[in-house]
Copies of this chain bind each other. A is one copy, B any other.
Amino acid sequence: MSLKHAMLGFLSWQPHSGYDLKKQIGASYTHHWSGNNNQIYRTLVELHNEGLVTREIEHQDDSPSRKIYTITDAGRAELKAWAMSQPDLPEWKIPFLVQLAWTHDLNAEEMDALLAAYAEQLRMEVLMLREQVHRGTSAPDRSARESFIWHQMATHWLALYENELVWIRSLQGELHTQTKSEEDET
């Protein structure tokens, strides 16, 4: 589990409540988690038990009280050790490819519709991401290198979807010419 370390990361930037972390993680696409309560609140308890964070309760008159978590020196050490550890290979979960693999029984029109639906999904996502990258979401900015890296991450994420869209568009074209040449033969 590296959600623990992702959370430690955000806490190494600024103290956060569970609620803050949920929003932060949910909003950051590169942190591929949904940011759901169950995991976040459980993980905060774990981090606290392991002495990687301290907890402070902040009473508020108008809103419910917040539990503010702050990273400890042990937490920073753990985070750095993890950051330097051997990286894993990325995992692409592309359900569309599984779908595409088993389109043997679809005719040309059904195939067209499928590709078009995927292309449209991607187009919408790309538009949304482009806007988000343009606006620049909340990111740590403690050094030139850090903001450079966060910008690189955002544009790289966008590029993944853009490349997928380019691929599907070229596939659409190639399938059309293929279908046509088969029609010519008959």
List A residues at the B interface (Cβ < 8 Å): 2, 5-6, 8-9, 12-13, 30-32, 76, 79-80, 82-106, 110-111, 113-114, 117-118, 121-122, 125, 140, 142-146, 148-150, 152-153, 156-157, 159-161, 163-164, 167, 171, 174-175, 178-179, 182
Cα–Cα distance between A34 and B156 once the two chains are bound (Å)? 27
The residue from B83, B92, B105 contacting A79, defined by CB atoms under 8 A apart: B105
Listed from nearest, the 5 A-B pairs whose CB atoms lie closest are A9-B102, A90-B94, A87-B96, A91-B93, A30-B97
Q: Which chain B residues border A104 with CB–CB below 8 Å?
A: 12-13, 140, 142-143, 146
Cα–Cα distance between A164 and B51 once the two chains are bound (Å)? 36
Q: Which chain B residues border A178 with CB–CB below 8 Å?
A: 144-145, 148
Q: How many copies does the complex hold?
A: 2
Cα–Cα distance between A159 and B170 once the two chains are bound (Å)? 14
Given known contacts A100-B153, A153-B97, A160 and B106 CB-to-CB distance under 8 angstroms: no
Cα–Cα distance between A82 and B90 once the two chains are bound (Å)? 27
A89 near B122: Cβ-Cβ < 8 Å:
yes
Given known contacts A12-B104, A104-B146, A84 and B98 CB-to-CB distance under 8 angstroms: no
A94 near B32: Cβ-Cβ < 8 Å:
yes
Given known contacts A105-B80, A148-B178, A9 and B98 CB-to-CB distance under 8 angstroms: yes
